[in-house]
Amino acid sequence: MQKERKDNQFIKKPIYPGGSKAMRELIRKELKYPKEAFDAKVEGSVYLRYNIDYKGKVVSSKVLTSVGYGCDEEAQRIVSKFKFEVPKGPKKLKVKFHKTIRIHFRLPKEQIKKPPITSNQHGRSTQLTYSITPTRKEPEKKKPEKKSTNYTYTIKY
């Protein structure tokens, strides 16, 4: 007969439903880059400390490391949307939990554009394109057909 295992933790920590992956997904969906920060091309990370009440709701948040340009307020807005699940503990025990989080603000990457064909010192550019296709002869025996090969070369002078 096995003994029942007792839980080692007297106070159970709040858990975000879906785990940290779901939390990152919420941040990704809700994050709106502040216009002031976008215009000033500001990037960085905002460190926040937030408090969770015994019901699992984020009660308050404080900026530990600031980026400015509206990023701090945006990070606090996102953290206020978090809703945690708090496992039941001893009756009438109302505990406030403290957690820290880092929210990254990165400018969206611009798509890399291919440079146009540049001309040489005389103002001319030459592009040569050809393809080699082998001539087909009547097969003496059944052999697998070879596919034609295409090559493209660009010559600049």
- 35-61: pLDDT as tens digits: 999 999 999 999 999 999 999 999 999
Average pLDDT, the chain: 81
Confidence category of residue 138, pLDDT binned at 50, 70, 90: low
What is the model's pLDDT at position 148?
58
57 or 144: which carries more pLDDT confidence?
57
pLDDT exceeds 70 at position 141: no
Distance separating alpha carbons of residues 146 and 70, to the nearest angstrom: 62
Is residue 71 within 8 Å of 105, Cβ to Cβ? Answer: yes
Q: Is the domain defined by 19-105 classed in CATH 3.30.70.360?
A: no
| pTM higher than the cut 0.95 | no
The amino acid occupying position 67 is V
Q: Given pLDDT bands bounded at 50, 70 and 90, which one contains residue 87?
A: confident
End-to-end CA distance of the chain: 88
User: Does pLDDT of 65 surpass 70?
Assistant: yes
Give the separation between CA 121 and CA 73, rounded to whole angstroms: 54
Checking if the pLDDT of 70 tops 60, the result is yes
Every domain of the chain and the residues it spans: 19-105
Overall average pLDDT of the 143-156 stretch: 62
